[in-house]
Structure 1
Amino acid sequence: MIKDYDVIIIGGGPAGLTAALYLARNNVKVAFVEYYAPGGKLIEQSTIENYPGFSNVSGIDLATSMYNQAIQNGTKMIFGKVKELDLKKPEKIVTLENGDIYSCKYILIATGMKNLVPGQVENIEKFRGKGVSYCVVCDGALFKNEVCGVIGGGNSAFEEGFYLSKIAKEVHIFVRDEIIAEQKIQDEVQNQKNIFVYKNATVQKLNGTNSLESADVNIAGKIKNFKIKGLFPYIGFKPATSFIKDIEILDAKGFIKVNEDYETTISNVFAIGDVVSKKIRQITTATNDGTIAAKTINQRIS
């Protein structure tokens, strides 16, 4: 049996939840599809200090507030993962991997981005879930009083490394190129006595029997073995658009091309948030996208 909505949003991050809120408040029958947890990447951020109105808020708390507000106003949540979309006809069809099928007049794609896997690291997939994790907030507690590593030189690597330092015995941050984290975050890391930062450092191989036990790291041409139990790569992201077959709406990097209303070249198909082809990706820009797209749809429906 096909379940019908006015609007279906693919993804439940800040962009999707903002759009859902604006649509639901206009009495639009709207649902969002999420296979992970409402909030998207928000729930993986230990602390957020640059969202207006909150000098310091956890990602989980902000995500929970956004989710609750959307639900309280009438949004429905569909738990599942999208297998394919049929976008060409006026009635759009969303098929989930579990076989459930939904129809709608408007679709908003808000799937965001997913973590890049450091492919040059030998055995990285072997130890996924056995010491290798992409979420300190989710799995950091598993490494209480252990020695851990973080890969990356940006805000995410340094923020999560700092958060991890409150749990782990030691945190070693391996930066391949230049440190690009904001200076405030760098200062916090530098002042934390159990964090050690290595520049020109490339993790080459992970070792262990049943779980991660150590990592071989090339530091300025010399190999050093680090006894670590946990490793958290934060080397960047790629758009979560592998399920989209209508490649004409994608740019060369896989992001979705939109106009000023966040509509794609396919009528009544919108994209919002980090999955959009644009220069700046922040929580505030995601909520902006969701607001504009929802207001556009509200105008068409009314």
Structure 2
Amino acid sequence: MDKIYDLVIAGGGPAGLSAAVYAARSKLKTLVLESDSAGGQLTDYEEMENYPGFTDITAPELAKNFKEHARKFGALTADGEVQRLDLESSPKKVMTKDGKTYHTRSILIATGAEPRKLDIPGEKELQGRGVSYCATCDAEFFVDLDVMVVGNGNSAVEEAIYLTNFARRVTLVVIHEEGKMDADSLFQERAYENDKIDFVWNSTLKRIEGDQMVDKAVVENIRTGELQKLDYDGIFIFVGREPSTEILEDTGVELDQSGYIVTDEGMRTNVPGVYAAGDVRQKPVRQVITAAGDGATAAVECQKYLEATEHWRENVLDTESEVIVFFWSPTDDDSLEAMRLLEELEIEEKTDKELVRIDAYGNDFIPDRYGVEEIPTVITIAGGEEKERIIRPTAKDLEGLLA
């Protein structure tokens, strides 16, 4: 078998690279698979004003720093767009579109999100020929030309402002009534103050026209139903994003109704050893700082999972002796009393059985895996199979373990 990684990260954005920093620093064999240049959605923007500790840095510069930091601690990176996952094999498999397969003990999904399409006539046909979803990528093609920006959130307004450095005029199409936008007040103020930005209120884009290139935009006033056909050289669409979760098809990983990955506060999915971080997961705030935090959390939790599973394999599953597993918590009085009684019994000295203690408070993976819901619980395992379970054992129950 090829090299087995401790953690393979699908996605090289802020979430994936932050996880790589923490994982590699903890000496986990870590690989980051990047489908594009490192930085993920960061590379779609220019300004970066709200990442704590950096008052004067661009988004591409920050993305570069993320990657260099991860490499400093030994994380490996490779070009490769993940196409499919095999989460049932042991170790797990990550397959890329270029035919490579990577084996890993755990996986972090940090594939981010893609621009949401309007699905209107002309959009697909003219994408790349005047229709764009990235001002940073394409602004230089519209020097001294007239462009339209559809959307009114932070991304739309920020990109409209950025486009004024290149275009002759920028028109922002806003679905709300005049003076109302979804963007933060800071971005709104900057847009209003920019004399190269015009606004079309109460409107949506209905159709894009052009032969080989964008030529016209048909805009509808949602109040009156009036249609306007306006001349534009470029259309930039920023109406939100959709999670990139195609690789999870038929894997059993839980998604919400919008397609985002469902995780707990530890970034754990419903599949053991599989984590999700950043814009691809269900969360209320999608910013670089929250993605980085997700990645750090995922890496720490992943390390706990790997340590717990390795300890379990070595001391329970692979041992020839019968194993008594004691699930307890240092915060539970009954657990402490049961622990005292077990130590007095000296099970390992008086029998050929092994005693393994699992702190359910500090690491809940194994308890969850075995359906341990009450503490303390004692499970007897032989040959990897459960033989007996005692919930909240009495002194007599514990004495019976000597038999």
Give the alignment's TM-score, normalised by structure 1: 0.95
User: Is 1:244 equivalent to 2:243 in the alignment?
Assistant: no
Give the distance between the partners of 1:57 and 1:196, measured in 2 at CA: 28
Give the distance between the partners of 1:230 and 1:176, measured in 2 at CA: 19
Give the distance between the partners of 1:287 and 1:106, measured in 2 at CA: 19
Moved more, 244-253 or 256-265: 244-253
Aligned sequence identity (%) = 34
Aligned twin of 2:231: 227
Tell whether the 8 Å contact from 2:252 to 2:271 is kept in structure 1 after alignment.
no
* Change in CA separation of 1:225 and 1:62 when aligned onto 2, cut-off 3 Å: same
Tell whether the 8 Å contact from 1:47 to 1:56 is kept in structure 2 after alignment.
no
Q: Work out which of the residue numbers 246, 258, 271 in structure 1 matches 2:276.
A: 271
* CA offsets 1:242-299 (integer angstroms, 9 cap, x no match): 1202244212211111122211111111111111112122211111111111112233
Task: Work out which of the two has the higher radius of gyration on C-alpha atoms and give 1 or 2.
Answer: 2
Tell whether the 8 Å contact from 2:253 to 2:261 is kept in structure 1 after alignment.
no
Supply the AA of the counterpart residue of 1:227. Answer: D
Let me know the Cα RMSD of the aligned residues: 1.5
Give the distance between the partners of 1:102 and 1:196, measured in 2 at CA: 50
User: Is 1:283 equivalent to 2:288 in the alignment?
Assistant: yes
* CA offsets 1:219-242 (integer angstroms, 9 cap, x no match): 343222222111110000111101
Supply the AA of the counterpart residue of 1:62. Answer: L
Cα deviation, residue 300, structure 1: 4.1
* CA offsets 1:6-25 (integer angstroms, 9 cap, x no match): 11001111110000011111
Alignment of 1:149-168 (within 5 A): 149-168=148-167
Supply the AA of the counterpart residue of 2:24. Answer: A
Give the alignment's TM-score, normalised by structure 2: 0.72
Q: How many residues align?
A: 301
User: Is 1:9 equivalent to 2:14 in the alignment?
Assistant: no
Instruction: Please identify runs of 4+ aligned residues in structure 1 that moved more than 6 A.
Output: none
DSSP 3-state at the match of 2:57: coil
Task: Note the residue ranges of structure 2 that are not aligned, 5 or more in a row.
Answer: 308-403
Task: Note the residue ranges of structure 1 that are not aligned, 5 or more in a row.
Answer: none
Tell whether the 8 Å contact from 1:154 to 1:179 is kept in structure 2 after alignment.
yes
Moved more, 37-46 or 291-300: 291-300
Aligned twin of 2:169: 170
DSSP 3-state at the match of 2:200: strand
Give the distance between the partners of 1:251 and 1:225, measured in 2 at CA: 39
* CA offsets 1:40-65 (integer angstroms, 9 cap, x no match): 11111221211101234321111111
Cα deviation, residue 301, structure 1: 4.2
Which structure has the higher relative contact order (CA within 8 Å, separation 6+)? 1
Tell whether the 8 Å contact from 1:3 to 1:101 is kept in structure 2 after alignment.
no
Aligned twin of 2:365: none
Supply the AA of the counterpart residue of 2:260. Answer: F
Aligned twin of 1:70: 70
Moved more, 246-255 or 121-130: 246-255
Supply the AA of the counterpart residue of 2:27. Answer: N
Alignment of 1:194-213 (within 5 A): 194-213=196-215
Moved more, 255-264 or 129-138: 255-264
